[in-house]
Amino acid sequence: MKKIGILGGVGWASTVDYYRAIAQGAGRYFAERGYGSPLPIPPMTIESVTQAKTRALRGMAGDEASWAGFDAVFREALLTLENAGCDFGIIASNTPHARLHAIRQGVSMPILSIFDATAEVTAATGASKALILGTSVTMQATDYADRLAQEGITANNHLPNPEITEMQAMIDSDFYGGASDTARARLLAFCNKHATPGTAILLACTELPLAFPDHLDDPVFEADGHLFINPSAAHVASALNEALEG
């Protein structure tokens, strides 16, 4: 098996869930093939950054230079994983993927993109429209929309700034450290307001799927009258395919 490098900490709850999902997914894989306990899991190293620090280092949209400090923190973490002997890396967060083009500079090991994994599973649903929900960085960037467009899917990630601010505040207050009792209700109210029928809703912040504990390992699921895409689960499945290849 290949060794997985997990860059986590943004935030810690989703990092825990990535590790759990990879370990349990590998366990199911080997159990189905007749392996006995203890079931094998891929070797992994986690490098956890400090979310308070990375949040403070966020730059301005359209100003590449303003992101230099943010990019450097994630690049250093990936290099640490590379030096630890990881065969490939995954970032257990959507937000830094908007900067992956810069973060991965100077890093030799492959980094699996959450955009690619998510676009592929969204296309498989047959949906032609998508609503992207996540942090302000994710919702203001065009990375998801651009990648989905390659699959013939039109993404509505240009919500007005007050709605983007509302989603960021929801993530910070109701989803940091896990989903609070009110998190699911607030999230569904937002979806009911902004998702038209037939829209695939991308839970494109790794904390958002925590509102649906029965679907944490499902890349695609339906709940409360909506079709949801879980980028975290799609990303984990991509990592497992890479780690268990051959």
Architecture of domain 4-113+235-244: 3-Layer(aba) Sandwich (3.40)
Q: Do domains 4-113+235-244 and 114-233 have the same CATH topology?
A: yes
Is 62's pLDDT higher than 90? Answer: no
DSSP secondary structure letters along 151-167: TT-EEE----HHHHHHH
- At residue 182, the pLDDT reads 84
The CATH fold of domain 114-233: Rossmann fold (3.40.50)
The amino acid present at 57, given as its one-letter code, is L
Torsion of Cα atoms, 65 then 136 then 158 then 148, to 10°: 80
Confidence of residue 157 (pLDDT cuts 50, 70, 90): low
The amino acid present at 181, given as its one-letter code, is D
DSSP secondary structure letters along 30-96: HHTTTPPSSPP---EEEEE--HHHHHHT---TT-GGGGHHHHHHHHHHHHHHHHTT-SEEEES-SGG
- At residue 180, the pLDDT reads 78
Contact assessment for residue 119 and residue 233, using Cβ atoms and an 8 Å cutoff: no
Going from N- to C-terminal start, the domains of the chain cover 4-113+235-244, 114-233
Q: What's the chain's average pLDDT?
A: 93
DSSP reduced 3-state for 193: helix
More confident residue, 176 or 165: 165
Dist CA 47 CA 77 (whole Å): 6
More confident residue, 186 or 13: 186
Taking only the tens place, the pLDDT of each residue in 120-146 is 999 999 999 999 999 898 898 899 999
Average pLDDT over residues 28-52: 95
- At residue 244, the pLDDT reads 95
